[in-house]
Amino acid sequence: MKATLALANGELFEGTSVGARGETVGEVVFNTAHTGYQEILTDPSYAGQIVTFTVSEVGNYGIHFGDEQAETAQVAGFIARRACKEPSNWRSQLSLPDFLSKNNVVGIEGVDTRKLVRILRTSGAQMGVIDSTGASAEALVEKARKAPGMEGQDLATKVSTREPYRWELGLEGRDPQPRKHEVVVVDYGVKRGILRQLVDIGCGVTVVPSKTAAAEILARKPDGVVLSNGPGDPAAVGGADLQARELLGKVPVMGICLGNQILALAMGGRTYKLKFGHRGANHPVRDVIGDKIDLTSQNHGFAVDAKSLEGKVQVTHFNLYDGTVEGIAAPDLRMFAVQYHPEDSPGPHDSRYLFRRFVRMIEGS
- pLDDT digit string (tens) for 176-198? 667 899 999 999 999 999 999 99
Q: What is the mean pLDDT of residues 12-41?
A: 97
Write down the pTM of the prediction: 0.96
Instruction: Report the distance separating Cα 150 and Cα 156, nearest Å.
Output: 12
Output the average pLDDT for the chain: 96
pLDDT (tens digit per residue) in 71-119: 999 999 999 999 999 999 999 999 999 999 999 999 999 999 999 999 9
Instruction: Report the distance separating Cα 7 and Cα 108, nearest Å.
Output: 14
Instruction: Indicate the SS3 state at residue 219.
Output: helix
Catalytic residue flag (residue 109): no
278, 300, 317, 341: the active-site residue = 341
| Preceding omega of 346 cis (within 30 degrees of 0) | yes
Q: CB–CB of 59/37 below 8 Å?
A: yes
Instruction: Report the distance separating Cα 230 and Cα 266, nearest Å.
Output: 17
pLDDT (tens digit per residue) in 28-67: 999 999 999 999 999 999 999 999 999 999 999 999 999 9
27, 39, 109, 343: the active-site residue = 343
Crossing angle of helices 240-247/258-266, nearest 10°? 70
Q: What percent of the chain has pLDDT over 90?
A: 94
Query: Does the pLDDT value for residue 174 go beyond 80?
Result: no
pLDDT for res 178 = 79
Instruction: Report the distance separating Cα 93 and Cα 268, nearest Å.
Output: 48
Length of the chain: 365
Task: Measure Cα distances from 164 to 28, 176, 264 in Å.
Answer: 32, 21, 25
pLDDT for res 171 = 83
Catalytic residue flag (residue 343): yes
pLDDT for res 265 = 98
* 8-state DSSP, 288: T
Delineate the domains of the chain, giving CATH numbers in brackets: 2-146 (3.50.30.20), 155-362 (3.40.50.880)
Phi-psi region of 221 (alpha: psi -120 to 50; beta: other; left: phi over 0): left
257, 278, 300, 317: the active-site residue = 257
Instruction: Report the distance separating Cα 230 and Cα 264, nearest Å.
Output: 15
CA 201 to chain centre: 22
Q: What percent of the chain has pLDDT over 70?
A: 99
Query: Does the pLDDT value for residue 211 go beyond 70?
Result: yes
Catalytic residue flag (residue 257): yes
